[in-house]
Each structure stands twice: as C-alpha cells, then as structure tokens.
Structure 1
C-alpha cells in the first residue's frame, strides 16, 4: 500500500516506472515472442530501429555494409530490425520480387520521400497495380523508339555543349553534364516540356547536388516522417536562404506542380484555345488524364508528386551509370578503343538507330557493366507478402513480414560475377552467358514493381555513349577508382566523403 501511495505522491517516479515496465515488456516481446524472433541476427538490431539509425545517420550510410557483416556472421537470412528480414541469395531474388504474386511495400521505407501519392510510394499491391496499368503502355520499348529523334537531338546537344570546353583546360564534373541531359530527356518525355538544364553554362552543379541531397536526407525522414510536415510549414524563402539546395528543390517541386496544372488546363481547353505554358506535345501525363483511373488518382497534387519522383529518379540513376561508364572507359583505354572499333565497324556513318545499337554486343556489354557497378537503387528494397507465408530453405517467413534484398550484394556475388569489382564488358558478350547473367542483373529491380523507366534509361545510355565517345575526347583529371566506388549507401551509392566526382578535361 505504501508503494502505491509513494507512486501517487511522486508522479514522475510513477511515469518512469511505467515507462521502464513498457520497455522491458517490449524487449521481451521483440527478443522472444515476436513472429520473427527465431531468425538469426544481432540482438540489438532485433530490439530497436535506433540500430539502423546509428549506422545510417551517425556513421553516414553504413547500414548496408553492416547488413553484409551480419550475413557473413549469421548466414543468408538475417533479422536486421524488430520487424524486417534480409536475404542474401541471388537465387531467391525472383521469388521475393515476384511478377505474379502480390507484394506490398514497407511503409517505413517509402515514407522517407514524402510523396505518398506517387506510384513508387504505393504500399498496397492493388493500388500500385492500378496506377501502373495506366503508366506501362507509355514506357514500352515500342513507344520509346517512336521518341528516338528527340533522344538523338538531346544527345547531339550534350556533345555540342561538351565541345564548348575543348582546350579550355577547364575541369568538368561529368555527372553534372549527364544529369542535365537525363533531366531534360525525362521531363520532355513525361511532360512534353524540357527543363533546358543542358543550356546552363556550368551544367547546374547545384541541381546534381540537390538530387543527391534528396537521397541522403532519407536517413532522417525515414525514422522521423513528421519532418516532412515541418519542412512544408517553414517559409520556403527562409529555407532557401539557409540551404540553397533545398531552395532549388522547392523550385523543382513548384515547377512540377505548375507543369501538371498546365497539362490539366490544356486538356480542359476548348478546341482552338491553348493553356498558358502548355506542353509542346501530348506526353505521358496527358495519357494518365485520359485513362480510366478514378478522379482521385488524377488530382493535380498526386500527379505533381508522380512527376517529381519520375523526373528525380530517372535523372539521377541514369546519370550515375553514365558517369561510372565514363570513368572506367577512360581509366582503361583498351576498353574504350574496343568500343570505338565496334562503333566504327558497325556504324561508320554514325546514323545507327536505337534498334541497330541494341544489336551491338560490346556497346551493350559496356552499358550492362555500367549498370551493374552503379547498382541503380543501392539500398535494400523491402517487400511484403500480405496474405501468405514465404519460404526460404528451411525458414518460413510469416505473412506481413518485410523482407529485403540489395542490388549491391547481387552485383558483387562472386559466384555469379567473378572478379565482380572489375569493369568487364566482355563478360556479357556470349549470348548464353548474357541470358544467364541478366537473371541476376537487378539495377532496375524485378517483378511487378520493376523500374518503369528502364527502357527509356537504356535508350538514353545507348545513344549518349555511342555519340559522346566518338565526338568528344575526354581526359580524366585527378580522378581514381575511389570516386566511383560506393563508400556510403544512402538509397543511392555515394563515394568517399570529400570525393570531387569524376572530373574530365576536354581535348580537341
């Protein structure tokens, strides 16, 4: 009785005792009673999400490498958090990322981007399937090929801009130029209007830094999603003064919203009239507005979120792959010469179409190897089987459990890709070997949620690589392999802190 009286007269003690009891019971549940308590892994990771926060936020993008250590210690399946499992087995990838069975996304993972209405962030399989059904036809290979003249024109423009730096001695961070190219291409394709970033005299380095910043910020927004609401409440002009990158992001966000509104207005205009700032031609979002989607999925807010995700993701990942390819070709001149020899032999007049470029073995080997070593999205991509158990070897994974796999682990599995850290286009040349290896190439993921922009990205890369290296003579400037080696994994792969990127000088 005296104990209750003491607690009643000392409420802070009472609150502390209740809190301690709650934490004790939570620890008991997570360690011994949870449906995934029997899976191997560090006990501290099973106890708290702060384990991931420490490795990703305090140690700056090291949780993926910690997961690799877990696999070395505990085996191919490990528990990496109170709720989530991770598998490192290339043979299981197509089971987890199934095309035929429903797979939900993990809300904890997708909320880091603050764009909950976009298809990329759709948690439920049914909603994602509905949205993708309206998007897939526009990103088919046949549809991309119809847009080939525009991709050709932008690749020519990229070459023209790079030639402006011939013999100036000025160093160019080549990823800045590639990001302008990919941004202009994606924005033109989905919205019918280029952003004209390739026209920027210095290739807009702040834009590339902004896209990288969006990816890096995810480690804060994932555990604290309410930060998105805080950011929205702050005056944008004030945030822009504090952080120029965030100011550019807000401008990008507003530009997406304005473009979507102009597309909606152009669809609603009477014949003979045109909306202000209307796109130059019908584009992807015109198709979405004409689709059978319910009105809520055609709102300006949802479509502007969709545009932001599609443009940002499509620009950054493709530009990284082009950058990685550029380094490796310049670092190994014999590989570049072999590529140039093939292009000269099969396309002496430099008029090859996309269809013809797709048939060139070494060119495609270069692109596949660049995609393999740049990973696409380098973080794990958790999936949930909502209504059935998954089975991995002797393990039964309960329904509703997030399970992830990682492209970095897939692409560096030595049993699949021997000497995996080496850039070797020739590993893709044999037709049967290529078919086998493509099963394990997951830069665009696989299954029903595979990257929708895969065909556009490959087409951009084919045309850019086939043109740029024939028309522009590059020379690396104070760049080493460390500048294209992942040292920090923050949704996208980043090199060591202090890296100045892949820098080149243009010669005549």
Structure 2
C-alpha cells in the first residue's frame, strides 16, 4: 500500500497495512478521540485559545503582520502534544510561534511522493548522522529532531509514573496506552514513538490550515464575515463567558463556514485524493468559491465531505479537530472583526495575502500552496467602536 509507506511509519496505526493488526492498534486509540472524551479536553483548548487572543493583542497596531498560519500551527500542536504527553512546548508563547514545527511537517510531506515508490531513499537518509543531516539536508534534520522529541516524551512517560508528564489534569494518550491492556510488543518504545510522531503531526497542520483558510476567506469577503459575526454576537452576548463546543456546533452559519473551510483545506487523503471529490462540480457548483451558504441550502452535502476520509481508516482525531476549530474560530471572530464588521477587541486586515496563499497547487498528502508564500498574514488594528 504505497500511500501508507509514504510516511515511513509502518508501526503506527495509520501506517499499518494489515487489517487485523490495524484493528488492534486503532481500537487502542479510538477511545481517546470519542466526542465525550474530547469534551473533557475543552478546558485545555479554551486555555490555549485564550493565549491566542493574548497574542493577537500583542500584535495590535504594530508595524509587522501576525502570521495566522504559524500561530494556528502553534495552537494545534500545543493542544495535541499536551493530550499525548501531559505537557506541551508553549509554542504559542514563542515570538515566532516556533514556526519550525510547521516547517518540519512540510519537510516530511515533501518526501511523500518519492517515498511511495522508493521508500529506501528516505530510510537511508534518516540513517545518516545528525551532523551530516544538518549540513547536507537541513529539512530532514528537522524531521529527525521531531522524531527525537517524540522519543524523549515516550521514554520519559515509560521511565517514571511519578514524573511531571503523568501529573496532567486530564488523561494522556501515551500514559494510558502504556498502562493499558495492549500486548507487550505493541507497547514497545520504537512502535509508540512512531505512533506519537503521526498523532502529533496529523493533529497539527490539518487543523491549523483549515482555520487559516476560513479566516482568509472571511476577511477577503466582508459580507460573509458580517453574517458570521452577527450570529456570534447573538449566541455569545458576553465575550467574557466561554461558549462550550456543544453550544457552538449548533450555530448554523458558524458550522457552514467550518464545513466550507474543511472542504477547501482538503484534510487527509487516503486511497484517493480529496481534491477530486471537493471540486466535483455536480456536487459542489462553483467549487473553487468559498460559499458557506451551500451547506445551509443542502445539509446532505455532509456525506460528500471527505476531509477526514471515511470508513475504518477515517482520521481518528476528527472530534478533536472539530472542537479546536469551533472553539478557536468562534472566540477569535467574536472578538476581532474586519472590513465592515468591527470587533470589540480589534480588527484584522489582510496584509500582502491573496488567494494564491491558500490555493493548493500541489498535493503532498497535505496541501502545498505557491512556493513563495509567506503565510496568511494580517495586521491587527485597535477597535474603532
């Protein structure tokens, strides 16, 4: 199965070709991503969203832009890392949002097509000493560092049940896996490192990119932003009160914006590319346009949305992704407005960003945009209301 070999992580649930073994590995992960379990993570998600709002305020009236795509990568990585290991790297607090995590994921993705057909090349590259990678192939050195971070986290969890990594206020995926009833060989450190690698990487860029795409289109089409903000103002009259995911997912226009954002950010392809489905004009007329109304007019479109794929190989983290997107998007756009719809905390203005910065030009398992993009960037302005 070439699409599985592309990642070089055949010991992870995602990379497991054998159906019986995949069922065992996937069954161990599924309980951590059920809707009820994810609801218990809302305090963690809300805390990181509060930090997003603080960072937006830091950029208010500066002469440099806020790179939303970097900020959202930091946000989603902080959340998924905390859930996996019981700690995170505070990437949101870093001045540049520790953009290296996004660069790492893109570096590994850029090798996917080669890995599908000649996996031995990637495997050989990753056997090189670290100093050689840093000098000769810096992008692959980033991938090695990412794997090393996963290894350190797994080894720390395995080494001591009394360490800080086991003192989280919530269940953590890899502590529970190690203490669970998986066969001993399924708890081996090398296998769990691969599992950690795929869970943290998959839980970072897909969610972040969806948020970036949605906010770009809302700012680029102010009439859509106005509709969304009217709905949010009615649903959340007091911005100091945290609206739960259960409430937010019932808001029709917010939900339509999210579904349309997922459609145009494409998500995770398995077996076939999502681009072909999401731009089928018989299903989605004017498919390259961001039109949330299409979801209000035809709720049955949901069955054609394959951002998370379908069936037994569907993305395990679908509920976590939805929770992060709903809570982040609602909180940000309730407080920050844009052209024609000022927000109480300030306003976003697109900065040297156009549709080319969100339009996919290549599919490397994650969507790649034009090579010279600098990300989805905004200037943060003080509120004039």
TM-score of the pair, normalised by structure 1: 0.70
Alpha-carbon offset, residue 499 of structure 1: 2.4
2:62 alignment partner in structure 1: 168
Task: Return the alpha-carbon distance in structure 1 between the equivalents of residues 53 and 39 of structure 2.
Answer: 21
1:342 alignment partner in structure 2: 231
- Determine which of 280, 305, 318 is the counterpart of 2:168: 280
CA contact (8 A) 2:359 2:369 kept: yes
Q: What pairs with 1:91-490 in structure 2 (closer than 5 Å)? A: 106=1, 108-267=2-161, 274-275=162-163, 278=166, 280-281=168-169, 282-350=171-239, 351-378=242-269, 381-382=270-271, 405-430=272-297, 433-434=298-299, 436-472=300-336, 473-490=347-364
CA contact (8 A) 2:274 2:306 kept: yes
DSSP 3-state at the match of 2:378: strand
Which residues of structure 1 form unaligned runs of 5+?
1-105, 268-273, 383-404
Which residues of structure 2 form unaligned runs of 5+?
337-346
Task: Return the alpha-carbon distance in structure 2 between the equivalents of residues 279 and 226 of structure 1.
Answer: 40
Alpha-carbon spacing, 1:485–1:297, altered in 2? closer, same or farther (3 Å): same
CA contact (8 A) 2:85 2:165 kept: no
CA contact (8 A) 1:178 1:319 kept: yes
Task: Return the alpha-carbon distance in structure 1 between the equivalents of residues 17 and 140 of structure 2.
Answer: 27
Q: Could you list the per-position Cα deviations for residues 84-139 of structure 1 after superposition, in whole angstroms to 9, with x for gaps in the alignment?
A: xxxxxxxxxxxxxxxxxxxxxx1x22112111100000001111111111111111
CA contact (8 A) 1:193 1:280 kept: yes
Q: Could you list the per-position Cα deviations for residues 408-444 of structure 1 after superposition, in whole angstroms to 9, with x for gaps in the alignment?
A: 11111111111111111111225xx21x101100000
CA contact (8 A) 1:211 1:316 kept: yes
TM-score of the pair, normalised by structure 2: 0.92
Task: Return the alpha-carbon distance in structure 1 between the equivalents of residues 49 and 88 of structure 2.
Answer: 14
Task: Return the alpha-carbon distance in structure 2 between the equivalents of residues 279 and 420 of structure 1.
Answer: 47
Alpha-carbon offset, residue 153 of structure 1: 0.5
Alpha-carbon offset, residue 279 of structure 1: 5.4
DSSP 3-state at the match of 1:115: coil
Task: Return the alpha-carbon distance in structure 1 between the equivalents of residues 278 and 290 of structure 2.
Answer: 12
CA contact (8 A) 1:182 1:314 kept: yes
Task: Return the alpha-carbon distance in structure 2 between the equivalents of residues 246 and 498 of structure 1.
Answer: 20
Alpha-carbon spacing, 1:284–1:442, altered in 2? closer, same or farther (3 Å): same
DSSP 3-state at the match of 1:429: helix
Q: How many residues align?
A: 369
Alpha-carbon offset, residue 469 of structure 1: 1.8
CA RMSD of aligned residues (A): 1.6
CA contact (8 A) 2:232 2:330 kept: yes
Task: Return the alpha-carbon distance in structure 2 between the equivalents of residues 338 and 276 of structure 1.
Answer: 45
DSSP 3-state at the match of 1:233: coil
